[in-house]
Structure formats: structure tokens, C-alpha cells
């Protein structure tokens, strides 16, 4: 066991290195995989909570994540990169509209709803 300020306890799995169940004082239980990346930095990958995953499913996920770590990947960095990806709305605003305006394509209008629901409507002026 290990001390955790917000937790009652951290329970380590004996089969999968770094696979832990964190039990908080509120009763919430969360599965994590702790590992060190190539730069020897301590990382903690959240797999999910006990309400969403059974122990078997969480341990299967931990094995897959652990195998990625062993071959040199960093799942935490991969997850952060996904968060940095440009959304469709940001792409349209920052790249597409300036592109269309740069070519003076007045015949092409983009009807963009206030919130993009993954649908762009292209309209042609007559």
C-alpha cells in the first residue's frame, strides 16, 4: 500500500505491474495503470471507475496499456495529443473560411449553424 492524500488506500495487483485500484474516502474506486515513460517520469493512466468496469475488463485494458508502455509508447501523451486536435468548428473558422476568401469564391457560401453538430451545409448562390 501507498499513502495518498485523497485516498483511503491504493491496492496493487500482483500480476500486472503498476495496475492499481484507488479507493477514496468517499467510497469511489478507480482503476489506474502507473508506469514510467522513456524519460523515467512517473505517469498514471486512468482506466476507469469500478461502476463502469468490472475487474476483468479493467485488467484486460491494463494489459493492453502496459504492452504499449513496454514497447516505448506513452499512453498519457497520446491521450493529451487527442485533446489538442483541432475540432471541425476550429478548422472551418481558422483554415477553411480564410482559404475560400483567399480565392474570392463568392459563389460558395457556408451556412454554419451557431453550434456545429458535425454537419456543414454548403449552399450555392444563384
Same domain assignment for residues 75 and 103: no
Same domain assignment for residues 64 and 101: no
pLDDT of residue 1: 47
Predicted confidence pLDDT, tens digits, the chain (126 residues): 455 566 678 999 999 999 999 998 888 999 999 999 888 999 999 999 999 999 999 999 999 999 999 999 888 877 777 666 677 777 777 777 777 777 665 555 555 444 444 444 444 443
Same domain assignment for residues 95 and 44: no
Buried b (16+ CB within 10 A) or exposed e, 4-19: eeebeeeeebeebebb
Same domain assignment for residues 50 and 94: no
Q: Are 90 and 98 in contact (CB under 8 A)?
A: no
Q: Are 19 and 12 in contact (CB under 8 A)?
A: yes
- Give the CATH number for residue 56: 3.30.160.390
In a domain, 1, yes or no: no
In a domain, 43, yes or no: yes
pLDDT of residue 118: 43
Total-model pTM: 0.60
pLDDT of residue 35: 94
Domain count within the chain: 2
Alpha helices in 27-117 (DSSP H): 55-70, 75-84, 88-91, 97-102
What is the span of the domain harbouring residue 112? 86-124
User: What is the phi/psi pair of residue 46, to 5°?
Assistant: -80, 120
Same domain assignment for residues 95 and 63: no
In a domain, 2, yes or no: no
Same domain assignment for residues 51 and 34: yes
Amino acid at each position: 500500500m501507498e499513502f495518498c492524500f485523497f485516498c483511503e488506500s491504493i491496492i496493487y495487483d500482483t500480476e500486472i505491474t503498476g495496475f492499481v485500484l484507488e479507493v477514496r474516502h468517499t467510497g469511489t474506486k478507480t482503476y489506474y495503470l502507473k508506469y514510467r515513460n522513456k524519460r523515467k517520469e512517473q505517469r498514471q493512466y486512468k482506466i476507469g471507475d469500478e461502476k463502469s468496469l468490472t475487474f476483468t475488463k479493467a485488467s484486460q485494458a491494463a494489459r493492453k496499456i502496459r504492452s504499449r508502455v513496454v514497447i516505448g509508447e506513452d499512453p498519457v501523451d497520446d491521450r493529451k495529443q487527442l485533446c489538442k486536435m483541432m475540432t471541425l468548428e476550429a478548422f472551418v473558422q481558422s483554415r477553411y473560411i480564410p482559404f475560400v476568401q483567399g480565392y474570392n469564391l463568392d459563389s460558395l457560401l457556408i451556412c454554419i449553424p451557431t453550434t456545429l453538430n458535425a454537419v456543414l451545409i454548403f449552399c450555392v448562390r444563384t
